[in-house]
A and B are shown apart, each in its own frame.
Chain A
Amino acid sequence: DTEVTQTPKHLVMGMTNKKSLKCEQHMGHRAMYWYKQKAKKPPELMFVYSYEKLSINESVPSRFSPECPNSSLLNLHLHALQPEDSALYLCASSQESGYGYTFGSGTRLTVV
């Protein structure tokens, strides 16, 4: 099992709904990330949270809103999404001592 836990695994939501994706890691990693992956495409970075600061990919629409309650948790709040936002949303974490980036299993989001 991956050490980065994402919930829920699947989510179907309407365009007027508000929902949240959750990500948790207990590896003591101090950087966490949200990636979006469309079918047959590589993951694309949405947000980085490291050194207690949030960095945003400026191409990400404001209907996606990250929140980092503590160093182990990273949430992604969703509001007024569009059908083209349907994708696999991946959370990842990393630390400073050379172990690469660890990904969670992802949340498969469908917007109807």
Chain B
Amino acid sequence: QKEVEQDPGPLSVPEGAIVSLNCTYSNSAFQYFMWYRQYSRKGPELLMYTYSSGNKEDGRFTAQVDKSSKYISLFIRDSQPSDSATYLCAMSEREYGNKLVFGAGTILRVKS
């Protein structure tokens, strides 16, 4: 079993839709959770960073962490064609000097 499971998609939605991206994990020691957006042939860009359980909102993006279920989500409201990218979840036991474990990445396509 992989430490982090993420459906690779692709996920295709119409412009303006609400997008839900999810990851599950098996390591209960993970405490720091991140979502990255990666455009083709570019480095990952940090979208959301959360510690432990709870919700965090930033503009059109909302990140949720449920440590009891070992489940994290990223919601994108009013999706735009420019949101088309690969979304990677990542998590770590410590926030510093520690290995980031990534999900496989979900390819998102927003159609105009």
Contact = CB atoms under 8 A, between A and B. Distances in A.
Contacts, number: 65
A101 B97 contact: no
Nearest to B103: A42
Given A42-B88, A42-B103, A103-B36, A48 B41 contact: no
Chain B interface main SS type: loop
A71 to B, nearest CB: 12
A90 B43 contact: yes
B46 interface: yes
A105 B99 contact: no
Interface residues of A, number: 30
Nearest to B48: A100
A83 interface: no
Interface string B49-90: 101000000000000000000000000000000000000101
A98 interface: yes
Interface of B: 32, 34, 36, 41-46, 49, 51, 88, 90, 92, 95-100, 102-105
Interface of A: 2, 6, 30-31, 33, 40-43, 45, 48, 50-51, 55, 88, 90, 92, 94-96, 98-106, 108
18 contacts: A41-B104, A43-B44, A43-B100, A43-B102, A50-B96, A50-B97, A51-B97, A90-B44, A92-B100, A94-B95, A94-B96, A95-B96, A98-B51, A100-B34, A101-B100, A102-B46, A103-B44, A106-B42
